[in-house]
Amino acid sequence: MTTFTEAFRLSQTGSTRATSYNWSNKILTLNGKTHVVWLDAPATICGRTYDHQSKTWGVIVRIDDGCDNHACPCITADAEGHIRLTFGPHGWNGEWNEARVKWKRSLQPGSLDAWKPVGEGYKYSWSNFGYNATAASIVHTPCGLDAVVCRGGEHPPQTMFHLQREIGGWTSAKALFSQEVEPQYTHNYGHIACATDGTLYAACHFYNIGGSDNQPVTGDRSKMRSYGAAVLKSTDLGATWCDLHGDPVDLPTTYNHRIAIPPFDRNIYINTIALDTLNTLWALTLNPGLEDNAVWLSRWVGQDWQTMQLERYMPESRTPVESMMTIDTHNRLHIVLTTVDTAAVGTDSHWGHPSSEVLYLRSNDGGQTFDAAEVSPADPETANWLPSISRSSPHHPVDVPTIMYTHGDVGTGLRPDIRTEVRCVQLVEA
């Protein structure tokens, strides 16, 4: 039976998207301390540390400010335990930081309290990179360099790759995935994962709004969809990329079955890519709407994908609308999902619907079976949503994951005057 600690309120002034965006790792544990980051209202990057020996939380650290509620903090750690952080832009919206990603490295290992000062002159570019960027995801590679994917570039935006350079600064953006559509709003949820041997995996989905005459929020939703998800790998720190068979791929690539993640040619979002202790690649995809309650868990085995569906573990009358996964050091699978009451949503938007609750799934047998447990106490008036779970990387493997989620209203716009609660729970090992 899965049990959790009582939810701890990290903040009562959270953003409307405090723990949002499943491509970004917001939780890591090093040397007996768990570090978490989130977004306070409207766009302040905050952090807090839990000491497992004293069983106490430290004070809130206000690290920096991002553009709006899409600032999306993401953390990883290096071999010395320094925490490395990306956050910030939302494309050209607000003209924040010239639409470049901000990068920081903690001054001391295992601490969120202070950060290496940003350089002046040309050295300013060591901490800022990208073009029309947003939604960055960072990993630290075994060779000591950070690798990042984000959305950026000319319209329609593409999935971009950046590598930190040994001599300082970052490589220019390399487009990995693109869509052959006229300029319009697109999103791709670019994910990156790093194996213990340094192999990089980058994944995205291919969503657009069906034409430049449509509007991303108020337009005709029947034209808006994803056309599938895909993944590439690189064994040379992103200098070249190939499919999972090892055959080279010309970049940027559009969606095709050679690089596709199951199910093919479906309206799906990529919600996670993750690696187990054998460096086997796993992928989690789902349909983002209410027309399909399927969740697909896929594993690359030898020369092909092995896929299983998880909807039988969903509570009755509830539909999953987002998810995130991690794999621990014992190869147990941990999945968190936002589910909504389909009948209660009706013809309304499920995004931040008050019926939203956080569900946890755990498998001890490689995904053959799962146990399910509710993370959030039911609250029919206020959404419990946007779950985030500890993600592993070469220098911060996950032994027992920690979960965060947002309790609060969805709001409207990019900088709404709304405060939410940021809650955190930890799994209790039997």
If phi > 0 it is left, if psi is from -120 to 50 it is alpha, else beta; for residue 135 that is left
Least-confidence region, from 214-218, 238-242, 304-308, 354-358: 214-218
317-335 mean pLDDT: 97
pLDDT grade for 343, boundaries at 50, 70 and 90: very high
Q: Which two tokens stand for residue 270?
A: 């990529």
Structure tokens at 25: 């790792």
User: What average pLDDT score do residues 301-320 get?
Assistant: 95
Q: What's 99's DSSP letter?
A: G
For residue 245 the two structure tokens come to: 């068979």
Share the mean pLDDT of the chain.
96
pLDDT in tens, 271-288: 999 999 999 999 999 998
- Would you say 356 and 383 are in contact if contact means Cβ atoms under 8 Å apart? yes
Helix, strand, or coil here: 379? coil
> Which pLDDT does position 189 carry in this prediction?
87
**Is the CB of residue 325 less than 8 Å from the CB of residue 272?**
yes
For residue 313, give the 3-state DSSP assignment: helix
pLDDT per residue over 109-140, tens digit each?
999 999 999 989 889 989 999 999 999 999 99
pLDDT exceeds 80 at position 307? yes
* Spatial distance between the Cα atoms of 49 and 27, rounded to a whole number of angstroms: 10
- Going from N- to C-terminal start, the domains of the chain cover 3-428
CATH of domain 3-428: 2.120.10.70
160-199 in b/e form (b: 16+ CB < 10 A) is bbbbbeeeebbbebbbbbbbebeebbbbbbbbbbbbeebb
| pLDDT at 2 (0 to 100) | 78
Confidence (pLDDT) at 116: 96
Using the predicted structure, report yes or no on whether residue 336 has a pLDDT greater than 80: yes
Residue 1 has pLDDT above 80, yes or no: no
Q: How many CB atoms lie within 10 A of CB 283?
A: 26
Average pLDDT over residues 139-166: 97
Q: How confident is the model at residue 430 (pLDDT cuts 50, 70, 90)?
A: low
Decide if pLDDT at 292 tops 90.
no
pLDDT 10s digits, 175-201? 999 999 999 999 998 999 999 999 999
Asked whether residue 94 carries a pLDDT value surpassing 80, the answer given is no
Instruction: Return the percentage of the chain with pLDDT > 90, whole number.
Output: 90
pLDDT tens, 35-90?
A: 999 999 999 999 999 999 999 999 999 999 999 999 999 999 999 999 999 999 99
pLDDT for 387-402, tens place per residue?
Answer: 999 999 999 999 999 9
- Coil, strand or helix: which one is 124? helix
Which secondary-structure segment (H or E) carries 238?
none
Q: What is the pTM of this model?
A: 0.97
